[in-house]
Amino acid sequence: MLVMRAGEFKSGSIFVMDGHNYRVVSCQQVQQPRLAAFMRAKIKNIETGAVQERNFKMGDTFDDLEITQRFMKFSYADGDLLYFTEEETWESVPVSAADAKDAMLYNTEEGDGTVFTFEYANGKLMNINPPTFVVLRVVETAPAIAGDTARNALKTAKLESGLEVKVQMFISIGDKVRIDTRTGEYCERVK
């Protein structure tokens, strides 16, 4: 198994500590005068979802997990299970709706559909990642109010996947918008 040092942490790193798998949510190297540098990290227990903030010595070592990836598209829902199909082998994989809930906020069936990256460690599903940017259609939003377009006013829009985001006032129902899946925020209108 590979070894990871706390000084090598970056957002998204996965490691094993005390027999549990953790993902680094965010981290920052801290240097105080006349003291050794340390890494302050917010980590998430992958199995339980619990998030905690901890300080690590830069030289602390942890087992690194080897991650394999599969590229899947949403196929259909059956009760509490969502089925995804691998692009190359056409193998169908069931996932609980609760595990895929966040990723499905970025699903679109328009065009070829959204391709999700499934990350596995030791054969166990660790994460479902949507692409960095997705284009979704606006299905519900308030009309623009005259005069509000001059300043950078925002309004709420509901997208085809159920995601709600703040958009600029000129966006209307039927428009397509680009969403950054890392932040869940509106980027721009797409023609």
- Residue-wise pLDDT for 22-70, tens only, equals 989 899 999 989 999 999 999 998 878 799 999 999 999 998 777 889 9
Q: Are residues 169 and 114 in the same domain?
A: no
Phi, psi values for residue 75, rounded to 5°: -110, -60
Q: Which residues pair with 28 in a beta bridge?
A: 40
Question: How many Cβ atoms are within 10 Å of 22's Cβ, its own excluded?
Answer: 23
**Which tens digit of pLDDT belongs to each residue from 69-84?**
999 999 999 999 999 9
Q: Are residues 82 and 101 in the same domain?
A: yes
Its domain, for residue 30, covers: 2-64
* Residue 50 sits in the same domain as residue 78: no
pLDDT at 68: 87
Whether residue 154 is found in the same domain as residue 99: no
Instruction: Please give the Cα distance from 109 to 74 (Å, whole number).
Output: 8
Structure tokens at 126: 């660790």
Q: How many domains does the chain have?
A: 3
114-140 pLDDT, tens digit each: 899 998 887 788 889 899 999 999 999
Same domain, 25 and 59: yes
Residue 149 has pLDDT above 60, yes or no: no
Check residue 177 and give its pLDDT. Answer: 94
Where is the domain boundary, 19, 40, 64? 64
In this prediction, residue 151 has a pLDDT band, given cuts at 50, 70 and 90, of low
CATH, residue 92: 2.40.50.140
One domain for residues 84 and 116:
yes
Are 119 and 153 found together in one domain? no
Say whether pTM exceeds 0.75. no
User: Distance between CA atoms of 121 and 85, rounded to whole angstroms?
Assistant: 19
